[in-house]
Chain A
Amino acid sequence: MSRRDRATSASAIGDFSDPALISTLTAWLGASGASELEISTKDGRALKIVLNPGASPVDVREAAPDVTAPRPEGRVLKAPLAGVFRDRHPGAPNVSSLAGEGTSLEPGAVAGFVEIGPILLPVIAREAAVVAKVHARAGELIGYGDPILTMEHAQ
């Protein structure tokens, strides 16, 4: 399963050196009441954040070189934040997926949601296009910037 392989590689949690990602994680760590967070991947990359008021709050180490995920063709809709991917609204489990392969989307259409605890962020199609490939699986934890859909212009 190529999807799994990719998920355990570089893009699983996004780029560990990304200050925005670290800032997000630090904020969530603070809110959770925990004081320390450590993430490591199979390829040896790791991120550790320790909350220590008064001291330098963030300690980042990047153990392995960046592994670039293969770039899919066409326009890719990416996850706006890390969370659980939903291919339809959780309040409407009986409707079909918002953006299955072959679905035409209008500009501004919601193609899915990223669920962060009780909050839902939309994944929005920026232009009229057809869904060529769905990368993220419903219910799966995805990282910031992970590809969700590849869109192709309608012929």
Chain B
Amino acid sequence: MIEIVETGPLNTVQDMGRPGYRNIGVTACGAMDPLALEIGNILLGNPEGAAVIEVQTFPFRLLFTKRGAFAVTGADCRAKLDGVALAPWWAGEAEPGQVLELFPPLRDARAYVSLSGGVDVAPVMGSRSTSLRGSFGGLGGRVLAVGDSIATGAVQPAAVPKGGFGAVPPAVALKDVFPVGENGELVIRALPAGEHDLFGADAERFWSQPWKISARSDRTGYRLSGDPIHPVEVVEMRSHGVVPGVIQVPPAGEPIVQMSDANTAGGYPKIAGIIEADLWRMGQARIGSTLRFVPATHAEAKGIEKALATYVDDIRQTARLVGKALAAMA
């Protein structure tokens, strides 16, 4: 059980999302960085996909009203428990009365607070994710506010060793799989989509130029700024289904990347789709930062997905074994 002591706007309860209802216009939602959510839950021994708190505005403070294990993953927000600094991607145990603080990260955008047993709110259509547009899911379908009490599910038996433990961050462990550009810009792999060839020579510029994430970006989508690109001829398109990662080009020529709260349908031409294994990095991209799109093949996308799955499995196995070994020595 925890209580929110301080929060900025737009912090919500999220899980792996609400798939399967796009046909009736229900946005999937879910964590912008699903990798951080997954690893936080693994460190705590939580059920896969347990709900967590997504923090995208800081500072954020919560009070433990009961003893419980927690993990802070995603952006390194220089977290402190009762003033004692915690390493990034870290799990620990809090005593009643202790306060966990998250500060503005210097890199990346979103931090995730996982709690032993998971955030216990009523699932709606199979998910505890907050749908802000629909005003349902999460805590009353709204953003978290000071004074909110959040219940947790059945606490997992001591998964976190005394003194805490952590995971080697994916940006370190998988630095060869997720390269960073020469000027520190984000490199995002994407597959050419349906209307790619409609852009003729401008399609080339889509891939070659850097794009800046504009201030008009949120969980629904990122609007990119750069040299506009236009199709060689204007085509009328019927609305069609849209999923997170789809990159659309509206008439003004600056692309929109659909994110976790993506519209379920849209009519803009699609130039590319971000590979699923790069979506978590996109979810951590900051407003004002620069990114570059690199064309990928399905085989490359599969390879990156596999490397990611191996890393996650390795954490799951090793966390369990380390826990066992420490228990054996205690």
> In the bound complex, how far is the Cα of B78 from the Cα of A91, in angstroms?
12
Q: Chain A: which residue is nearest B43 at the CB level?
A: A119
Chain B residues 148-194 with CB under 8 Å of chain A are: 161, 163-169, 171-173
CB distance from A33 to the nearest CB of B (A): 11
In the assembled complex, which residues on chain A have CB atoms less than 8 Å from the CB atom of B315? 118-119
In the assembled complex, which residues on chain A have CB atoms less than 8 Å from the CB atom of B319? 119
Q: Are A118 and B324 in contact (CB under 8 A)?
A: no
> In the bound complex, how far is the Cα of B172 from the Cα of A45, in angstroms?
36
Q: Are B325 and A27 in contact (CB under 8 A)?
A: yes
Q: Are A119 and B168 in contact (CB under 8 A)?
A: yes
Cβ of A90 under 8 Å from chain B? yes
Q: Are B169 and A90 in contact (CB under 8 A)?
A: yes
Cβ of A121 under 8 Å from chain B? yes
Given contacts A90-B169, A91-B171, contact A116 B89 (CB under 8 A): no
Q: Are A91 and B318 in contact (CB under 8 A)?
A: no
Please tell me which one of the listed residues B173, B322, B324 contacts residue A121 in the complex, with CB atoms under 8 A apart.
B322
Interface residues of chain A: helix, strand, loop or mixed (majority): mixed
Interface residue count for B (Cβ, 8 Å)? 30
Q: Are A89 and B329 in contact (CB under 8 A)?
A: no
Please tell me which one of the listed residues A23, A24, A122 contacts residue B163 in the complex, with CB atoms under 8 A apart.
A122
Encode contact with B along A26-57: 1 for CB under 8 Å, 0 otherwise: 01100100000000000000000000000000
Q: Are A120 and B329 in contact (CB under 8 A)?
A: no
> In the bound complex, how far is the Cα of B161 from the Cα of A124, in angstroms?
13
Query: Can you report 8 A-B residue pairs in the complex whose CB atoms are below 8 A from each other?
Result: A20-B325, A31-B317, A80-B326, A118-B315, A119-B165, A119-B167, A122-B87, A122-B163
Residues of chain A at the chain B interface (Cβ within 8 Å): 19-20, 23-24, 27-28, 31, 80-81, 89-92, 108-110, 113, 115-122, 124, 144
* Seed contacts A27-B321, A118-B315, A119-B165; 5 additional CB < 8 Å A-B pairs: A118-B311, A119-B166, A119-B167, A119-B315, A119-B319
